[in-house]
């Protein structure tokens, strides 16, 4: 009994690809199948290849269509044919440029045969090849296997089923056929899996040709208009599925715009490319003649709502959008660096949902913020404060905050978190962001002109070198500078690991990775410093590695500067008592500005401590004190004493050089 029905839709195709695809299907180890090839207005030479390769095989049936009508209608013609063949129990379809391994049909069919009755779709992994048939390096196969092994509910966010699959005819009979090109397969899986479960085979059963010149994927990749068409269909399929399943929007995004410029469009494109999709987007056109909407509306998305509010202020536009926000979370969009990646919204929603369970929102109002690539945190809110862009708010609390009247304006300080690099900058930043109403600025302070750009109520991070002139300049402003340092021996260790990890393409990495052959050599290089030869400069693009003395001395003057709060990493991490004392030192330093919050110092201490999350720093490694004792050998110790032993004594880390 031939119980498997395979459809191959064909339009224009490279004859070599087509022959390879056909022969791979015809040479399956499980041969009890029918193959229907539907020519979707294919050229005569393509039809000739099909007839030549399949000649004499009674399993094959060729359907010729004169007019090209697209893959969805072509698939439906093939499967409608199979619906009339009683002995067929399983369906699959194949592409005319992919290669199918001999056990493709056998293993997908066996998975369905052996699975519980409620399982209606089996799928496997596959290999990616280029148009020459060479395997692509990415994605790594083991990682791809894990990625595909997901519950069916996750299909709403990602299409992990891919191009190697089989499903039961009886389930297919319960739904309509293929539609919504160019995501006809994904949209079909969303509907099919509402009636059945799925089973995964962690094995590659075929090769997927990713950049075949005549393929749909190549067209989508090489055309912005085609990509937008794909994205619209992809999001429409997801939204239709949520509507069928009565899943409400989780997030409202309010995007006030003043024009239809390239920058505005680019921001919109970044948002629409987010992996998290369960949001509605309210675009509020503030232009006098609705000129922005006329341009923006050409970028279609099923989740977008337009509101025309000519001449409105930014705050009025936000309030208008907020009045119709009916989702658990709200985000104001359009300014700043958000989003930093396509996963930004997803990460914010996960963090927001977790934090909502942990905190009493009435007592602990918060906003979720992005702290780096794939990293999030939260900051405490002051009810009545101005809304922040790119921050995730609980909608009820956000409405209460923005609509609150007669709120006394609280002017929070400008805070500079200054540091020796690799000394706990992000830890101190987290602590400061625990102060209600404080926001993080989107730029670092390295030069004097950066000080002038600092804003009230914001904290800036910086590696701002010391000079007496700079000390005087800060003393003449209302900037509150807090300086953090760390045992310089641990700075060396942390710096070596940071450079070698190379998360941010560190300029020292090529030299340290290729020229220095061991960890011990790298530690010594950053203790003593290295002057590169001319040849090495040309090869590695740097002329030197500074010694630990040269690397840190430019900052250490802040430790004794007047009007600067000095804390150490060790004080903030040694134990609970030490941490409390150090944070209270910061509170006392800022108290003149913070007492208007109507919180006691102890309440403020608890809020600031609550915001500490060591793993939420994109530069966090161990966060341990004294790691140098494990990594330094005697030669390292000797060299360090010669180079920077006196600094350790001055900073109070050692009494002398006998360590």
Percent of the chain with pLDDT over 90: 81
CA geometry: angle 173, 178, 180, nearest 5 deg: 145
Lowest mean pLDDT among 93-102, 118-127, 201-210, 370-379: 370-379
> What integer is the mean pLDDT of 49-66?
96
- 422-479 tens-digit pLDDT: 999 999 999 999 999 899 998 999 999 999 999 999 999 999 999 999 999 999 999 9
Q: How many CA atoms lie within 13 A of 646 on its CB side?
A: 4
Read off the tokens for 94: 């194949």
- 174-212 tens-digit pLDDT: 999 999 999 999 999 999 999 999 999 999 999 999 866
Q: CA 447 → CA 96, 181, 426, distances in Å? A: 60, 53, 20
The secondary structure of residue 533, as a DSSP letter, is: P
The pLDDT value given to residue 375: 80
Mean residue pLDDT across the chain: 92
- 135-159 tens-digit pLDDT: 887 556 677 888 899 999 999 988 9
The pLDDT value given to residue 615: 66
- Is residue 10 pLDDT above 60, yes or no? yes
Q: Would you say 47 and 130 are in contact if contact means Cβ atoms under 8 Å apart?
A: no
- Is residue 405 pLDDT above 70, yes or no? no
The alpha carbons of the chain give a radius of gyration, in whole angstroms, of 31
- Is residue 64 pLDDT above 50, yes or no? yes
The pLDDT value given to residue 371: 76
Lowest mean pLDDT among 71-80, 323-332, 621-630: 621-630
Q: How confident is the model at residue 406 (pLDDT cuts 50, 70, 90)?
A: very low
Q: How far apart are CA 238 and CA 400, in angstroms?
A: 32
Q: How far apart are CA 366 and CA 392, in angstroms?
A: 9
Percent of the chain with pLDDT over 70: 95
The pLDDT value given to residue 141: 67
Q: How far apart are CA 220 and CA 600, in angstroms?
A: 58
The pLDDT value given to residue 404: 67
Place of tokens 């199948």: 33
The pLDDT value given to residue 251: 98
Q: How far apart are CA 260 and CA 612, in angstroms?
A: 40
- Is residue 618 pLDDT above 60, yes or no? no
- 206-245 tens-digit pLDDT: 999 986 666 666 666 678 899 999 999 999 999 999 999 9
Q: Which residues, other chains included, contact 590 with Cβ-Cβ below 8 Å and sequence gap of 6+? A: 413, 415, 435, 480, 565
Lowest mean pLDDT among 131-145, 463-477, 512-526, 570-584: 131-145
- Closest to 607 (Cα-Cα) out of 371, 347, 402, 381: 381
pTM of the predicted protein model = 0.77
Q: Could you tell me the strand order of the sheet in which 99-100 lies?
A: 60-65, 33-40, 4-10, 90-93, 165-168, 119-129, 197-209, 99-100
Neighbours of 104 (CB within 10 A): 26
- Is residue 402 pLDDT above 90, yes or no? no
- Is residue 355 pLDDT above 90, yes or no? no
Q: Which residues, other chains included, contact 2 with Cβ-Cβ below 8 Å and sequence gap of 6+? A: 32, 33, 34, 59, 87, 88
- Closest to 275 (Cα-Cα) out of 234, 336, 317, 219: 234
Q: Would you call 208 helix, strand, or coil by DSSP?
A: strand
What is the full DSSP assignment across 62-123?
EEEESS---HHHHHHHHHHHHHT-TT--EEEE--TT-EE-TTHHHHHHHHHHHS-TTEEEEE
**Sign of the alpha-carbon dihedral angle for 138, 143, 149, 154:** negative
């Amino acid at each position: 009994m031939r119980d498997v029905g395979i459809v191959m839709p064909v339009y224009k195709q490279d004859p070599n690809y087509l022959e390879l695809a056909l022969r791979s299907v015809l040479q399956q180890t499980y041969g009890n199948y029918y193959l229907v090839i539907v020519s979707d207005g294919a050229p005569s030479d393509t039809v000739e290849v099909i007839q030549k390769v399949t000649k004499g095989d009674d399993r094959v049936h060729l359907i010729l269509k004169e007019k090209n009508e697209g893959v969805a209608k072509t698939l439906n013609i093939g499967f409608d044919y199979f619906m009339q063949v009683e002995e067929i129990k399983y369906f699959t379809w194949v592409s005319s440029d992919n290669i199918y391994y001999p056990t493709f049909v056998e293993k997908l069919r066996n998975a369905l045969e052996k699975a519980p009755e409620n399982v209606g779709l089996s799928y496997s992994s596959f290999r990616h090849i280029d148009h020459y048939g060479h395997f692509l390096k990415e994605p790594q196969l083991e990682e791809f296997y894990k990625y595909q092994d997901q519950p069916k509910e996750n299909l709403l966010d990602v299409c992990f089923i891919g191009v190697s699959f089989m499903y039961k005819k009886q389930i297919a009979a319960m739904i309509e056929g293929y539609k919504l090109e160019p995501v006809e397969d994904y949209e079909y899986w969303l509907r099919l899996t509402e009636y059945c479960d799925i089973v995964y085979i962690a094995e590659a059963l075929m090769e997927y040709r990713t950049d075949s010149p005549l393929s749909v994927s190549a067209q989508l990749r090489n055309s912005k208009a085609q990509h937008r068409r794909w994205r619209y269909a992809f999001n429409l399929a997801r939204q239709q599925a949520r509507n069928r399943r009565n899943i409400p929007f989780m997030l409202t995004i309010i995007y006030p715009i003043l024009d239809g410029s390239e920058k505005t469009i680019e921001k919109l494109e970044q948002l629409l490319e987010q992996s998290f999709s369960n949001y509605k987007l309210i675009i509020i056109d503030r232009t006098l003649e609705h000129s922005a909407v006329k341009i923006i509306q050409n970028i279609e998305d099923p989740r977008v709502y337009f509101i025309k509010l000519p001449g409105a202020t930014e705050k009025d536009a936000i309030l208008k959008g907020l009045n119709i926000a009916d989702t658990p979370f709200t985000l104001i969009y359009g300014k700043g660096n958000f989003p930093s990646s396509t996963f930004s919204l997803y990460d914010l929603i996960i963090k927001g949902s977790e934090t909502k369970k942990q905190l009493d929102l009435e007592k602990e109002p918060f906003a979720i913020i992005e702290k780096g690539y794939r990293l999030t945190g939260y900051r405490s809110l002051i009810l009545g404060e101005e809304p922040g862009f790119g921050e995730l708010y609980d909608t009820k609390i956000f409405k209460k905050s923005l609509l609150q009247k007669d709120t006394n304006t609280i002017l929070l300080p400008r805070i500079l978190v200054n540091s020796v690099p690799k000394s706990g900058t992000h830890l101190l930043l987290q602590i400061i962001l625990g102060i209600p109403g404080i926001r993080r600025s989107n730029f670092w302070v390295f030069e004097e002109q950066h000080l002038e750009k600092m804003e009230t109520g914001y904290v800036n991070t910086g590696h701002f070198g010391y000079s007496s002139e700079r000390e005087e300049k800060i003393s003449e402003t209302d900037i509150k500078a807090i300086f953090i340092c760390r045992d310089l021996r641990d700075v060396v260790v942390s710096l070596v690991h940071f450079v070698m990890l190379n998360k941010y393409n560190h300029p020292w990495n090529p030299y340290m990775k290729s020229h220095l052959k061991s960890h011990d050599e790298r530690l010594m290089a950053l203790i003593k410093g290295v002057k590169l030869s001319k040849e090495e400069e040309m090869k590695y693009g740097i002329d030197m590695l500074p010694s630990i003395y040269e690397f840190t001395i430019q900052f250490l003057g802040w430790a004794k500067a007047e009007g600067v709060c000095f804390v150490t990493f060790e004080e903030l991490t040694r134990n609970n008592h030490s941490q409390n004392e150090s944070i209270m030192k910061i509170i006392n330093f800022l108290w003149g500005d913070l007492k208007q919050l109507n919180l006691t110092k102890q309440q403020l201490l608890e809020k600031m401590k609550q915001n500490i999350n060591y793993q939420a720093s994109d530069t966090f490694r161990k966060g341990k004190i004294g790691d140098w004792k494990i990594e330094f050998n005697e030669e390292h110790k000797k060299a360090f004493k010669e180079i920077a032993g006196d600094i350790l004594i001055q900073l109070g880390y050692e009494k002398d050089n006998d360590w």
